[in-house]
Amino acid sequence: MRKSSHATSDTRVTSAQSQRPTKRVAARRVRADDGPARLPAPDAALAGAAQWIRRHVDAAFFNTAPTISFDPAQNGTSQYGMVTGNLNGADREGDRISYLLTSAPAHGSVVIRPDGTFSYVPTDEFAATGGTDTFMVRADDHSGNPPHINLAGLLHADPADGQTQISVTVAAGSTAPPEQLQMEVLAAQIANSPRLQWTKNVLRPWWFAMAALKYLPAGGLDRGNISRLNQALDEFTFGVAMRMVNTDPSRPQVLTYEIPPHAWGPSVVPGGRWAYDNPDSIYRTIPVNAKYSYVITGKFVGDPPADLNFSVYTDPNVTNSVDNIGLHDLVVNPDGTFTITVNTAPDDGTPNHLHMTHAAQQVFIRDTLGQWTDSPVELSVIRVDGLPAGTPKTYAQMVDSAVSLALTSGVALYGLMLLPFIQPVNSLGKPTHTFGTLSTQRQSSTLFRLDDDQAMVVTVTLGDAGYFTTPITDAWTITPDYWNHQTSLNSAQAVQNPDGSYTLVISRTDPGVANWVDTGGLSQGSLFVRWQLPNANPDAGSPTVTSRVVRLEDLPSMLPPDTVYVTSQQRSQQLAERQQAYDSRFDRFLTI
């Protein structure tokens, strides 16, 4: 398990507390015989103006700093080995408070939420030995508030510089938090650092410009997508931080990432989706280096995934694959177990072997679930080379690496993804393989623009593939809320036509068909159809897809005669089953 190094850090989160208080002026009842309304006397008007000026001068130049009234007695121990507490921040003027982590804990990680509550997660070693860990926090009221200073504070400086020491006590022999949780909390701490938050201000205008250019053929970038830009940047930076907490090839761990927002008990974890994430896929990564040798051990439990791939990549952005083992390449024991060797030995046909080039950085694993109740494989990894482990990265080094990756990926890679599609709007072309995608995958993509009374009718054939999916993504390449809305359907979820094809209806308004792909409230975005498992049916030919836009009132005449329709009650049941299946994933994330 990762050891946390004590290092100075700056991590900011913002709290929306209360707005500035305003004074209430009592209204005098006007009698019928009062006569015409009179202007206030000059003295009263001057007094009111003076009060207004004084109030704003005080707010701008004598604004008091927020305070923290932390009480360690309020701390509690939660499930998964977490310690929870409350900073109890307050601001006399009612300004919004930001919490700045100025010194990180030495024996764990902490995530501070905008309301001042926090969750601390100890390392394995500290959970075993127990003790008291500390970190420093400063409350600030400048971000998100009108400009102001405290002249009195400048004359009488606070020797503690507004910092408060927060202490947490872990009992000896406490339950060690799961590795996944430890890495997620550390990633949240990195993502909230001011330096990584600063990168969002750098990327925001660049992303906006690229997306505006991309969506010119679709009538220009609309307000719905513009309103999602900040969320996309939040998920991108957290995704970058997640990649940084598991980059030590001498201490490899299996990390699940690119997950939507979720919670482990009281610890709320932000989403980390990006780059056209697939709602059917569970993404995991293992750091590797050619100087070491590894053995990955796995086991199939329950219903297996529709597809499974282990790919060796030479970059953190999963764009350059040098070797791959797919589901049908894998040799599995009768009890469902298997092992994969990962080293620099040539790929000479040895079963379950991944070849690393000298540039290899990670093994990227994709479990693709047909039915969302299917089970991802259980995985673990060990090194078998006997070489000593390297020096672990400090927290400061992880922040440095995260900032560098965010800038390079956010500018270059996202610039490519946000450039205009060659394919016309609302038109899916012939399935092909695209750079940076799974080597055994083919796809067809298009921008869509649909009015509330329009739908795109998409007809898909599997051909020689064994799986397809049709997810919606927004202008920033992120899937909308696919767990509460049917914004994707795959070949296991959709109703098949009698001839083996699938007809799907893409629309913002529910058309009442079972195979509805909801745009999630988006009027424009992208549709990214994928096919996997090539040669599953070698005599069936290549996959195909067609699309056309129709008015909803004309839809019944455009659909196959055997189309399955649903009532509102059946739709509710369909969505309830989808939500339940999605939630079951998180029961497994901490164990797989």
**What CATH number is given for 55-177 in this structure?**
2.60.40
Token pair listed for 134: 């500390």
∠460-462-465 over CA atoms, to 5°? 145
Q: How high is the pLDDT of residue 518?
A: 98
Which residue type occupies 508? R
Which residue type occupies 488? S
CATH of 248-392, one of 2.60.120, 3.10.310, 1.10.3470, 2.60.40: 2.60.120
Q: How far apart are CA 180 and CA 172, in angstroms?
A: 21
432-590: CATH topology? Jelly Rolls (2.60.120)
Q: How high is the pLDDT of residue 377?
A: 94
Inter-CA distances, 107 with 6, 167, 172, 254, 370, Å: 7, 12, 13, 21, 41
Q: How far apart are CA 211 and CA 478, in angstroms?
A: 13
The single residue listed with the structure tokens 């860990």 is 133
Q: How high is the pLDDT of residue 38?
A: 56
Q: Average pLDDT per run of 10 along the chain, which is 592 residues long?
A: 45 45 39 50 65 58 80 88 91 84 92 92 93 93 64 52 88 87 93 91 93 91 96 95 95 94 80 93 96 97 92 86 91 97 91 96 96 93 95 94 94 72 82 75 93 97 95 95 97 97 98 98 96 81 95 96 97 96 76 50
Token pair listed for 143: 């971000």
Token pair listed for 511: 């058309």
Inter-CA distances, 26 with 23, 29, 41, Å: 10, 10, 17
Q: How far apart are CA 517 and CA 198, in angstroms?
A: 36
User: Where does residue 152 rank: exposed (0-12), middle (13-18), buried (19+ CB within 10 A)?
Assistant: exposed
Q: How high is the pLDDT of residue 547?
A: 96
Range(s) for CATH 2.60.40 in the chain? 55-177
Q: How high is the pLDDT of residue 5?
A: 44
Q: How far apart are CA 236 and CA 270, in angstroms?
A: 10
Q: Are strands 337-343 and 353-355 parallel, antiparallel or unpaired?
A: parallel
Range(s) for CATH 2.60.120.1600 in the chain? 432-590
